[in-house]
């Protein structure tokens, strides 16, 4: 498993293929003289290797994600061409292929990488002017979609929690989804957790840097979290090091998309949850919103989410906030436990005071009012 992208000893990454990691190792291990002499002089590939070595590796926490996009969408098409010969039309053709395939976000990502690369090449003197200097990200497939705002109401949390028992799911997916809500974690942070990260005696989850921001993260556990973790440990074969192992190969974790796909199926099914569509990201957003509703201080909530503190606090505030996080997470778990213990979703509020959730009669947990 890849714990830190900038670690020269990495041998694999759960985010990209081995060929990407090998390419990254080759560039990182080469001297500038070797990179200058590699490939066709002045080609896109040659200069891009220098850019990766001198800029991308210095500024990106996860350079392998950017390199994967470049290796897949850019270098096969223009890698051997002279850098100075590349024009805006040629680059737009690369972006347009992705847009036509419905991959708008990937098109914007590739554009942003190319713009950064050509700006660096101009600054270094490899080209006179960047062909992308006049373009902005909104010029590629229009403006990005606004951020989501879907959160689950009390009644929807009840349906979500109990609906997982009514659907034909593996124990791994069932309890992993619940743990995502309780811990405000991303699904890959749950399914790719090792058993050794959890100390149930001290009540701590040491996630380390295995997260999107690659910041060291420790999360206090609550009784309801323990219930989920113990259920996952019980479902995991003793010989597996993973909290949520693959059902095919216990030496590997469950795939990153398995939990997301399981939730998508139960949402889309005719006799599913019967709720408005939501995703695993919405579970994380729901947890964060509930922390706010429980009057959790913003800096404590940011620590739980593993977001950086704001302003000057990012530099000077090194407190671990564990006692405060414990109180906040206890309140969150108690809130969800109270919801789950209700007799039905009819006893709980939906979006506004006095509003009740109305489920389709075909929904798994439909009940007469």
- Return the structure tokens found at 46: 């040659």
Structure tokens at 289: 């919103």
Residue 110: count of CB within 10 angstroms of its CB: 23
CATH number belonging to domain 154-347: 1.10.443.10
Stretch 86-104: mean pLDDT: 95
Binning pLDDT at 50, 70 and 90, where does residue 361 land?
A: very high
Question: What pTM, to 2 d.p., does this model score?
Answer: 0.76
pLDDT digits (tens, 9 = 90+) for 278-309: 999 999 999 999 999 999 999 999 999 987 76
As a whole number of angstroms, the distance between CA 49 and CA 36 comes to 9
- What was the pLDDT predicted at 4? 39
Contacts of 116 (CB under 8 A, 6+ apart): 55
How much is the pLDDT for 312? 61
Are 225 and 179 in contact by the 8 Å Cβ rule? The answer is yes
In the DSSP assignment, the letter for residue 245 is B
Domain(s) of CATH 1.10.443.10: residues in the chain: 154-347
Identify the band that residue 9 occupies on the pLDDT scale cut at 50, 70 and 90.
very low
Mind giving me the DSSP string for 91-145? HHHHHHHHHHTT-HHHHHHHHHHHHHHHHHHHHHTSSSS-TTTT--GGGSSSSPP
Instruction: Provide mean pLDDT across the span 312-325.
Output: 71
At 292 the pLDDT is 96
Its CATH architecture, for the domain 18-139, is: Orthogonal Bundle (1.10)
Distance CA 330, CA 203 (A): 12
Q: What is the dihedral of CA 335, 338, 342, 347, to 10 degrees?
A: -40
Q: 38 and 49 in contact (C-beta within 8 Å)?
A: yes
Q: Cβ–Cβ contacts within 10 Å for residue 312, how many? A: 8
Q: Write down the pLDDT at residue 8.
A: 46
List, by residue range, all CATH 1.10.150.130 domains of the chain.
18-139
Q: How confident is residue 89, by pLDDT bands cut at 50, 70 and 90?
A: very high
Q: How far apart are the first and last CA of the chain?
A: 50
């Amino acid at each position: 498993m890849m714990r830190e992208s900038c670690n020269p000893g990495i041998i694999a990454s759960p985010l990209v293929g081995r060929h990407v990691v090998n390419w990254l190792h080759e560039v990182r291990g080469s001297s500038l003289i070797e990179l200058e002499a590699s490939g066709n002089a002045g080609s896109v590939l040659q200069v891009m290797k220098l850019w990766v070595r001198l800029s991308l590796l210095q500024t990106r926490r996860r350079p392998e994600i950017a390199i994967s996009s470049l290796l897949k969408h850019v270098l096969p098409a223009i890698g051997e061409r002279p850098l100075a010969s590349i024009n805006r039309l040629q680059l737009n053709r690369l972006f347009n292929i992705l847009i036509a395939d419905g991959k708008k976000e990937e098109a914007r990502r590739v554009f942003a990488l190319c713009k950064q690369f050509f700006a660096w090449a101009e600054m270094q003197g490899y080209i006179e002017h960047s062909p992308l200097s006049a373009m902005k990200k909104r010029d590629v497939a229009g403006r990005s979609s606004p951020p989501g705002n879907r959160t689950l109401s009390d009644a929807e949390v009840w349906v979500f929690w109990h609906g997982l028992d009514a659907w034909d799911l593996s124990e791994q997916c069932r309890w992993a989804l619940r743990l995502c809500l309780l811990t405000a974690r991303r699904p890959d942070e749950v399914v790719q957790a090792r058993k050794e990260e959890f100390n149930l005696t001290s009540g701590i989850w040491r996630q380390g840097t295995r997260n999107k921001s690659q910041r060291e993260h420790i999360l206090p556990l609550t009784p309801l979290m323990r219930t989920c973790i113990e259920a996952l440990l019980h479902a995991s074969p003793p010989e597996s090091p993973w909290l949520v192992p693959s059902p095919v190969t216990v030496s590997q974790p469950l795939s990153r998309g398995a939990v997301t796909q399981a939730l998508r199926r139960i949402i889309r099914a005719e006799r599913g949850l019967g709720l408005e569509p939501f995703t695993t990201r919405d579970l994380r957003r729901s947890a964060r919103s509930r922390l706010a509703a429980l009057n959790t201080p913003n800096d404590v909530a940011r620590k739980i989410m593993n977001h950086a503190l704001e302003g000057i606090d990012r530099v000077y505030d090194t407190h671990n906030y564990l006692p405060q996080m414990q109180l906040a997470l206890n309140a969150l778990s108690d809130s969800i436990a109270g919801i789950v213990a209700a007799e039905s979703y009819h006893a709980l509020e939906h979006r506004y005071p006095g509003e009740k959730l109305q489920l389709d009669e075909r929904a798994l947990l439909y009940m007469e009012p």
